[in-house]
Structure 1
Amino acid sequence: MIQMETSFGEILFELDRAKAPVSVENFLRYARAGHYDGTIFHRVIKGFMIQGGGLTPEMKEKPTDEPIVNEARNKLKNKSGTIAMARSEEIDSARAQFFINTENNRDLDHAGLNPAVFGYAVFGQVVDGMDVVYEIERVAVASKGGYADVPLEPVIITRVTVID
């Protein structure tokens, strides 16, 4: 279980170590190191998802470890309330950033080996706090620091705690 405290309230996650062991261990390593504390949700798209875990309120990217293998073939779907690893156009490029799906995003599920359809690895599910996720989803956004869909007022992840 993961307890994520944000400036909007608390979100609890249950991680699926059986189906996404690499993604879960990666997330836990960053959480235990305090990497997520003080980062923001820097990309918020209503009717899609909220993304965070990599930038400070000043829009500075935090240093990360090497990328991990993409576990999108694990049959977990990008449904509303799931947490998944963010990545670039490269299949195996996920590091620390993650997103929470606010809708069923079938287009993000694994659909083949081509990078455009390989998918995004789901590794857990919100078990409490979707009201907080939906509140974050409704914030006003604009372009800032070379990023689109940035909340006008920072949505801060104040602390991420691993509950054993």
Structure 2
Amino acid sequence: MARIKPQALLQQSKKKKAPSRISPTTIILFCLIVFMVVFFIFSAYRHFSHRSVNTEEQIRYGGRKGLSDLKNTDVPKYAIIHTSKGVIAAELFKDGSPEVVDEFIERCQKGHFKGMQFHRVIKHYVIQAGDVHSIGPSEEWTLKGKHYSQLDTSVKHEAFMLGTSKTKHDKKGFELYITTAPIPDLNEKITVFGRVIKGEEVVQEIEEVDTDDHYVPKSSIGIMDVTLEQKL
């Protein structure tokens, strides 16, 4: 057998150790992997930074969720009205008056009703809380003059309904009306968005206070706060 010369062995060794060329497919695959890694890191950064901003906003606004972020099952179903005469609990008609209920809940969360006064009380008719200087449906009702014996007693016009004026509300304009008797043209004047289910005796006690000729209570009767609940 012939022996291989040293120079031939050296040349064969160099050929074996020489690096092989990288194929275009390998280069493309490597670039794709790098792109996917960079895209994943960028997406993760955006997600957590956006989450951080939302958390800061919730802390800034007292941790309250916006109504648009709440599921339908999370929307409060009851309003607890704490008055100087006692507590009134009302069921909210979310399905019947969704926009008004949403506005009412937002105003409750902002403390709109704290310190609000019952500034007009019409016996056997309605009690009204809100801006003392406002002129609402109850003012028109008093000017017309009502006769209780002639009132319609249909369910939609029954007593102890919670409502507000149909006029566009400004910062002070969300009035609260609680009927104390059936009212025939109730739906023409106010939007009914709830019904008193507990505390009817408190409503009646407010109704019986002494008033002047303009149906303004002679003694101060106010709302201390309104809280929202899922269950009673």
Q: Give TM-score scaled by structure 2 length.
A: 0.53
* Rounded Cα–Cα distance in structure 2 between residues aligned with 1:97 and 1:119: 12
RMSD between aligned residues: 1.8
| 2:196 corresponding residue in structure 1 | 126
- CA shift for structure 1 position 163: 1.0
The answer on whether the counterparts of 1:48 and 1:102 sit within 8 Å (CA) in structure 2 is yes
- CA shift for structure 1 position 98: 1.5
Computing the radius of gyration over CA atoms, which structure comes out larger, 1 or 2?
A: 2
How does 1:1-164 map onto structure 2 within 5 Å? 1-52=78-129, 54-55=130-131, 59=132, 77-87=156-166, 92-94=167-169, 95-109=173-187, 118-142=188-212, 148-164=214-230
Unaligned runs of 5+ in 1: 62-75, 110-117
- Return the letter of the residue paired with 1:79: E
* Rounded Cα–Cα distance in structure 2 between residues aligned with 1:42 and 1:24: 23
SS at 2:82 equivalent: strand
Structure holding more strand per residue: 1
- Return the letter of the residue paired with 1:4: I
- Considering Cα pairs closer than 8 Å and 6+ residues apart, tell me whether 1 or 2 has the greater RCO: 1
Q: Give TM-score scaled by structure 1 length.
A: 0.73
- Return the letter of the residue paired with 2:183: N
* Rounded Cα–Cα distance in structure 1 between residues aligned with 2:174 and 2:207: 20
Structure holding more helix per residue: 2
How many positions carry a matched residue from both structures? Answer: 130
- Return the letter of the residue paired with 1:156: G
The answer on whether the counterparts of 1:44 and 1:137 sit within 8 Å (CA) in structure 2 is yes
* Rounded Cα–Cα distance in structure 1 between residues aligned with 2:118 and 2:157: 18
Q: Percent of aligned pairs with the same residue?
A: 32
* Rounded Cα–Cα distance in structure 2 between residues aligned with 1:86 and 1:149: 18
* Rounded Cα–Cα distance in structure 2 between residues aligned with 1:123 and 1:154: 26
The answer on whether the counterparts of 1:11 and 1:129 sit within 8 Å (CA) in structure 2 is yes
Which runs of at least 4 in structure 1 moved beyond 6 Å after TM superposition? none
The C-alpha deviation readout for 1:108-162, integer Å capped at 9, x for no partner, is 23xxxxxxxx33211100010000000000001125xxxx311111111011101
- Return the letter of the residue paired with 1:122: V
CA 1:60–1:37 in 2, change beyond 3 Å: closer, same or farther? farther
* Rounded Cα–Cα distance in structure 2 between residues aligned with 1:154 and 1:3: 20
The answer on whether the counterparts of 1:14 and 1:127 sit within 8 Å (CA) in structure 2 is yes
The C-alpha deviation readout for 1:40-76, integer Å capped at 9, x for no partner, is 1111000100000x23xxx477xxxxxxxxxxxxxx8
The answer on whether the counterparts of 1:102 and 1:134 sit within 8 Å (CA) in structure 2 is yes
Unaligned runs of 5+ in 2: 1-77, 135-154
- Return the letter of the residue paired with 1:129: G
